[in-house]
């Protein structure tokens, strides 16, 4: 059962990472991005392993938006999105960097 849970978490994390990579986030707030990605994880039957991190430009990693965070993606930003999916306590963690 453990192996199946790891595999399922990995597949979900991979699918959602690719959605995040392909989506045009310009004009979206970091909070909107985090909410949408977390929703995609839940929609696939997993829990979030941790809050989605969306870091911009010189922020290397682990920026997590809070409600009402007005930080918005522009067309010149380097955006790092770190996400994790969890199935029955087994976690898959992945990230992607996109440049607009």
DSSP sequence for 18-76: HHHHHS--TT-BHHHHHHHHHHHHHHTT-EESS--EEEETT--S-----TT---B--TT
pTM of the model: 0.93
Residues 6+ apart with CB under 8 A from 50: 84, 93
Q: What is the pLDDT along the chain (100 residues), one digit of tens a residue?
A: 689 999 999 999 999 999 999 999 999 999 999 999 999 999 999 999 999 999 999 998 899 998 899 999 999 999 999 999 999 999 999 999 999 7
- Rg of the chain over CA atoms, in angstroms? 13
């Amino acid at each position: 059962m453990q192996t199946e849970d790891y595999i399922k978490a990995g597949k979900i994390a991979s699918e959602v990472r690719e959605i995040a990579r392909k989506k045009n986030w310009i004009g979206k707030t970091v909070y909107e991005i985090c909410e949408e990605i977390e929703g995609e994880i839940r929609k696939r039957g997993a829990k979030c392993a941790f809050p989605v991190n969306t870091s911009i430009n010189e922020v290397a990693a682990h920026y997590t938006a809070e409600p009402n965070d007005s930080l918005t993606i522009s067309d010149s930003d380097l955006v790092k999105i770190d996400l994790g999916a969890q199935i029955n306590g087994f976690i898959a963690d992945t990230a992607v960097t996109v440049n607009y």
